[in-house]
Amino acid sequence: MDYYRSSVEKKRKTREPRTGKSRFPLWVIVLVVLVSFIVGVVFSSLAANLGSFSWLSRMKDTILVAVAGGTPQTRYIDIEKNGKDYILKEGDRFEISYRDEFVIKKVTTNSLFNRGITVDIEGIGSSNDLEALLNGIELVDRKIADDSKTSGINVMYRGKIITSIPIDVKIMPQDWLRFAKGSKTEKSRIEYLERAIRMEKDDINARKMLAKLYVKSGMTNKGILEYKRILKQKPGDLVSLIELSKIYIRGKQYEKALAIHRKIIKIDPKDDVAYANIAYSYAKLGNWKRAVANCKASLKLNPGSTTVRYNLAEAYEKTGRDKDAIAQYEQVLKKMPGDVNVMVVLSDAYLRVGRYDDAINLYRRVIKKQPKNASAYANIGLAYGNKGVPEKEIANYKKAISLRPKDSVVHFNLAMAYEKGKLYDKAVLEYRKVLKLKPGDTDAGLRLAEHYLARKDYSSALGMYEKLAKAQPKNASIYEKAGFAYGELKKYKKSAANYEKAIKYGAKSEYVHYNLAFAYDKIGKKKKAISEYEKFASRKPTMEVLTILADYYMEEKQYDRAISTYKKMIKINPREAGLYSGIGYAYSLKGDTDKAIANYKASIRYDSEDDMVYCRLGEVYEKKGMYEEALGEYTNAYQVNPDSNEAARKIPHMKIRILQKKHQ
pLDDT of residue 173: 79
Q: Does residue 179 fall inside a structural domain? A: no
pLDDT of residue 124: 87
pLDDT of residue 440: 79
Query: Which of 135, 170, 185 is the endpoint of a domain?
Result: 135
pLDDT of residue 20: 39
Closest CA to 343 of 356, 361, 355: 361
Q: Is the pLDDT of residue 242 over 50?
A: yes
Bridge partners for 277 per DSSP = none
- CATH number of the structural domain spanning residue 615: 1.25.40.10
pLDDT of residue 250: 93
Q: Which residues contact 36 (CB under 8 A, 6 or more apart)?
A: 63, 66, 67
pLDDT of residue 452: 92
Q: Is the pLDDT of residue 431 over 60?
A: yes
pLDDT of residue 14: 37
pLDDT of residue 69: 61
pLDDT of residue 168: 87
SS (H, E, C) 275-327: HHHHHHHHHHCCCHHHHHHHHHHHHHHCCCCHHHHHHHHHHHHHCCCHHHHHH
Residue 30: other Cβ atoms inside 10 A: 10
pLDDT of residue 176: 77
Q: Does residue 202 fall inside a structural domain? A: no
pLDDT of residue 219: 93
pLDDT of residue 25: 56
Q: Does residue 41 fall inside a structural domain? A: yes
Q: Does residue 126 fall inside a structural domain? A: yes
Q: 351-390: per-residue pLDDT in tens?
A: 999 999 999 999 999 999 999 999 999 999 999 999 999 9
Q: How many CA atoms lie within 13 A of 397 on its CB side?
A: 23
pLDDT of residue 45: 43
Query: Which of 110, 135, 160 is the endpoint of a domain?
Result: 135
Q: Is the pLDDT of residue 647 over 60?
A: yes
Distance CA 82, CA 97 (A): 11
Q: Is the pLDDT of residue 33 over 90?
A: no
pLDDT of residue 148: 82
179-189 average pLDDT score? 82
Q: Is the pLDDT of residue 5 over 50?
A: no
pLDDT of residue 150: 85
pLDDT of residue 65: 57
Q: Is the pLDDT of residue 62 over 60?
A: no
Q: Which residue has the higher pLDDT, 500 or 5?
A: 500
Distance CA 243, CA 204 (A): 14
pLDDT of residue 43: 45
Query: Which of 85, 110, 135 is the endpoint of a domain?
Result: 135
Q: Is the pLDDT of residue 125 over 90?
A: no
160 alpha-carbon distance from chain centroid: 72
Q: Which residues contact 283 (CB under 8 A, 6 or more apart)?
A: 291, 311, 314, 315, 318
**Residue range(s) defining the domain that contains residue 590:** 542-662
pLDDT band at 206 (very low <50, low <70, confident <90, very high): confident
pLDDT of residue 548: 95
Q: 593-633: per-residue pLDDT in tens?
A: 999 999 999 999 999 999 999 999 999 999 999 999 999 99
270-279 average pLDDT score? 95
Q: Does residue 627 fall inside a structural domain? A: yes
pLDDT of residue 51: 44
pLDDT of residue 179: 76
Query: Over the Cα atoms of the chain, what is R_g?
Result: 56
pLDDT band at 324 (very low <50, low <70, confident <90, very high): very high
Q: Is the pLDDT of residue 343 over 80?
A: yes
Q: Is the pLDDT of residue 288 over 60?
A: yes
Least confident interval from 196-205, 295-304, 501-510: 196-205
pLDDT band at 26 (very low <50, low <70, confident <90, very high): low
- Pairing between β-strand 160-169 and β-strand 94-96 as defined by DSSP bridges: parallel
pLDDT of residue 401: 97
Distance CA 360, CA 347 (A): 8
Structural domain total, the chain: 2
Q: Which residue has the higher pLDDT, 500 or 201?
A: 500
Distance CA 620, CA 122 (A): 135
Q: 142-178: per-residue pLDDT in tens?
A: 888 887 888 899 999 988 999 999 998 888 777 777 7
pLDDT band at 447 (very low <50, low <70, confident <90, very high): very high
CA 84 to each of CA 81, 87, 109, 175: distance values in angstroms, whole numbers, following the listed order: 5, 10, 22, 23
Q: Is the pLDDT of residue 22 over 60?
A: no
pLDDT band at 184 (very low <50, low <70, confident <90, very high): confident
Instruction: Provide the mean pLDDT of the chain.
Output: 88
pLDDT band at 61 (very low <50, low <70, confident <90, very high): low
Q: 496-537: per-residue pLDDT in tens?
A: 999 999 999 999 999 999 999 999 999 999 999 999 999 999
Q: Does residue 519 fall inside a structural domain? A: no
Q: Is the pLDDT of residue 34 over 90?
A: no
551-561 average pLDDT score? 95
Q: Does residue 381 fall inside a structural domain? A: no
pLDDT band at 30 (very low <50, low <70, confident <90, very high): very low
Q: How many CA atoms lie within 13 A of 245 on its CB side?
A: 23
Q: Does residue 47 fall inside a structural domain? A: yes
